Structure 1
Amino acid sequence: MTSDADPVLSASTARDRIASGALSCTALAGHCLARIEAREAEIQAWTHCDPQSVLKAARRLDGASAQGPLHGLPVGIKDLFDTHDMPTGYGSPIYAGHTPASDAAAVALIRRAGGLVMGKTVTTEFAFFNPGKTRNPHNRAHTPGGSSSGSAAAVAAGEVPLAIGTQTAGSIIRPASFCGIVGYKPTYGWITPAGVKTAAWSLDTVGVFAADVPGAALLGSVLSGRDLTAAAQAPSPPRFGFCRTPQWDAASPATRAACDTAIERIAAAGGDVEIVTLPAVFDELLAAQETVMAFEAARCLAFERDRHGAQVSDRLASLLEHGATISADTYQAALGLAARCRTALADCLTDVTVLLAPSAPGEAPLATEGTGDPVFNRIWTLLGVPCVNVPGMTGPNGLPVGIQLIGDANADAALLQAAQWLSEAFENPPSTA
């Protein structure tokens, strides 16, 4: 039996140990199952995990002649992704007991690469804001964030080295910040959402959670078909642009202090930071994201609203009702603003490698207050640009506070390289002697 104090095994370390013969797939699966057994009553990250099926699959991997890039690595699957051999409930009682006929594409790719699907992790209702049962591993009185709550909490608790989730507003970066792990939201469209319950087709982005940047790059490589693993090495300091965003007033003292500390660590490690101010056209972008999300959600969930309205939460029902009142012209205007801002963002990134901004307003709020505000994530999701949460700092309550890095579209490799460089700067603070 493992204990809560055991160190979290990173995906890269586990992969290397399996490849060398020092660790079997079955032993790693047993380690993760023991952690789940030890902490599930407290954290409640899973909707489905069958230990016997997991161990049977691990033994098959131990007997396989070929090893894929994820060989034997346990992966948590957000319960928004279809799985042919496990229930898929999308966080809603409407789909209780539902088992799809096939896997989502991302799940199939994980299996093809030798990944061990550990089970299904908790999602909020259809990936929107109605909280699930999961609690923050650092303090169970607090939320892990949403909507990818179970995936983030499972990785943070060391129950799996890797997990997948989705982001429509802030559902990769915010829970990664609250749980103190790496969250990587790739460029929109880099990972196919086929087989994922659609919340808003212009926004939904499949992303990954890991204990460190190399782990996120590894899983991102498998799912995107692009080799990002070399990007997890950081041979030279990137150029950072500190961007407060138009939402800076929402930043708590903890987040402002984290940004200041990040800038200090960058400078001490030999990096450069300059202030980047977004042009005025960005001022209405957050409202545009809310418009697009509501308009598309009202259409994506039309069946559930019309046929099972009594089983839709009041908060989601209100969003869908609002979305149904938005005109097509208003929706198109929001998409047009996003297109103009994408062009303007490319200009902002001319002299810097990545932008540095808050991941969330502050530490994770109490679970009774909801899943937290995606105010610092919405605009980047609408723009479809890649983002990474870099953990490493804590707030006044001892809970994690992350830093968000944002890259230009399709510049994911450079973004991950910058995230690794910043991670190393956090791990090796300057001496005060």
Structure 2
Amino acid sequence: MISLADLQRRIDANELSPDAAIAQSVEAVDAQDKTIGAFVCRAEDPRVANSGPLRGIAVGIKDIIETSELPTEMGSSIYRGFRPRADAPVVMMLKRAGATIAGKTTTTAFAFVDPTATLNPRNHGHTPGGSSSGSAAAVAAGMIPLALGTQTGGSVIRPAAFCGVAAIKPSFRMLPTVGVKCYSWTLDTVGLFAAGVKDLAHGLSAITSRPELMPDAAIAAPRIGVVTQDFAGAPEPAGGEALRIATLAAERAGATVRELALPDIVAEAWRIHPTLQEYEAHHALAWEYRTHRDAIPPLLRARLDETTGLLPADYDAARRVANRARKALAQLFDDVDVLLTFSAPGAAPKGLASTGDPRFNRLWTLMGVPCVNVPAYVADGGLPVGVQVIARFGNDAGALEAARFVEEALARL
């Protein structure tokens, strides 16, 4: 994989020009993407900036995020050839930081669960996850150092876990979702994929102009609460092993680690997540569902058909539960710095029929808290399995620092 932080260091030291760095990514995409299929379209003549912290950094943009110079087709025939007149604000934030848009990465249709044809670079017989399939795969295959994805249920953290890359779902609305095809305005969150946690910190800091996100040389040993989300069901053996290994590594490195039980209202929030998601989806996709229903892929169409009876009263009740759960969760962080839990039930499922199960992700999306995937274990077949580090809302710097602590602790095992 390509380290964003290392590229920045080499460019700053004049060891590598921005043009040469972009050329390396273009060559890597040329070599890899015929097999992996991570890109739906590419920039024909990528513009290389000579200034900005992300100069020389090639970025993939999930194809539900609007770009003025490339089509935005949202994984759907309904939008074939659609070209917005303006870039989404988050794309402009990248450009202002000097990044070069390499192309649009594959997405499941409207970021739901109908799979793409993208292959997992770690094992081509297994899914890369979804809905940010192409973004995770492009980084994992060493094509680009940074990619944008989105998460409504688990679509950043889960594909990162399956492909063995670092990823952050930041605090809700740290990155703007204007110009991103909406599925659920309460849940949709823009996130980042990169080779390692330090690379995520460098990327997010540059995009947001937040120097506090940059990693310190020394990392304080965090207080970690391990949560197993029993209400979401048992993990697969590989998922359990990843959490066990990460917990052991953190303890050996000096972290204070203890198991925590989540309050009942938080478990209830996990249960009502689909109500919020699907009620809002019916509004967000109302035009597509009414005028192009037959062109909507089968799994999404079936979900919309099944949930037409959701009432405003159901939605309002779910919102009240979510608000109470966020307050209860915030109190847990009085006693610990971060939570550690599963990124996915286990390794990537075999075949491309499923993008994986978001049951260990969806709660944290609803809570709006920052989550970072850290690769922790390699299961049979060379399949990575991750864990996620979760911090208090707004403490993205703390989430990244603790995740780097876990990442470095795992490297020393």
Q: TM-score, normalised by structure 1?
A: 0.93
Deviation per residue, 1:399-423 (Å, 9 max, x gap): 0000111111111111111001111
1:21 is aligned to 14
Distance in 1 between residues matched to 2:364 and 2:81, nearest whole Å: 35
Amino acid at match of 2:335: D
Q: TM-score, normalised by structure 2?
A: 0.97
Deviation per residue, 1:41-65 (Å, 9 max, x gap): 2210000113x412xx23xx2xx4x
Amino acid at match of 1:379: L
1:389 is aligned to 373
The answer as to whether partners of 1:389 and 1:402 remain within 8 angstroms in 2 is yes
1:280 is aligned to 264
> Which of the residues 321, 324, 327 maps onto 1:337?
321
Distance change in 2, residues 1:107/1:232 (3 Å): farther
* Offset of residue 233 of structure 1: 4.6
Deviation per residue, 1:336-358 (Å, 9 max, x gap): 11111111111222111000000
The answer as to whether partners of 2:2 and 2:139 remain within 8 angstroms in 1 is no
The answer as to whether partners of 1:214 and 1:229 remain within 8 angstroms in 2 is no
Q: Matched residue of 2:381: which SS?
A: coil
* Offset of residue 392 of structure 1: 3.3
* Offset of residue 311 of structure 1: 0.6
* Offset of residue 248 of structure 1: 5.4
Which has the higher mean CA deviation after the structures are superposed, 8-17 or 168-177? 8-17
Q: Is 1:179 aligned to residue 163 of structure 2? A: yes
Amino acid at match of 1:345: L
Distance change in 2, residues 1:265/1:91 (3 Å): same
* Offset of residue 195 of structure 1: 0.7
Q: Which runs of 5+ in 2 are unaligned?
A: none
Q: Within 5 A, what are the aligned runs for 1:182-201?
A: 182-201=166-185
Q: Matched residue of 1:394: which SS?
A: strand
1:311 is aligned to 295
Distance in 1 between residues matched to 2:155 and 2:299, nearest whole Å: 17
Distance in 2 between residues matched to 1:200 and 1:76, nearest whole Å: 23
1:3 is aligned to none
Deviation per residue, 1:216-237 (Å, 9 max, x gap): 1122223334324434655221
Distance change in 2, residues 1:181/1:279 (3 Å): same
Count residues with an aligned counterpart. Answer: 413
The answer as to whether partners of 2:202 and 2:214 remain within 8 angstroms in 1 is no
Q: Within 5 A, what are the aligned runs for 1:409-428?
A: 409-428=393-412
* Offset of residue 164 of structure 1: 0.5
2:353 is aligned to 369
Distance in 1 between residues matched to 2:209 and 2:282, nearest whole Å: 32
* Offset of residue 40 of structure 1: 1.1
Distance in 1 between residues matched to 2:38 and 2:5, nearest whole Å: 23
The answer as to whether partners of 1:234 and 1:418 remain within 8 angstroms in 2 is no
Deviation per residue, 1:91-122 (Å, 9 max, x gap): 10101111100001111111111001000000
Distance in 1 between residues matched to 2:143 and 2:96, nearest whole Å: 22
> Which of the residues 13, 30, 40 maps onto 2:23?
30
* Offset of residue 308 of structure 1: 1.0
* Offset of residue 185 of structure 1: 0.4
Distance change in 2, residues 1:232/1:415 (3 Å): farther
Q: Within 5 A, what are the aligned runs for 1:129-140?
A: 129-140=113-124
Which has the higher mean CA deviation after the structures are superposed, 221-230 or 389-398? 221-230
Q: Percent identity?
A: 42
Which one has more relative contact order, counting CA pairs under 8 Å at least 6 apart? 2
RMSD value over aligned CA atoms?
A: 1.3
* Offset of residue 205 of structure 1: 0.4
> Which of the residues 240, 245, 251 maps onto 1:267?
251
1:110 is aligned to 94
Q: Matched residue of 1:262: which SS?
A: helix
Q: Matched residue of 2:150: which SS?
A: strand
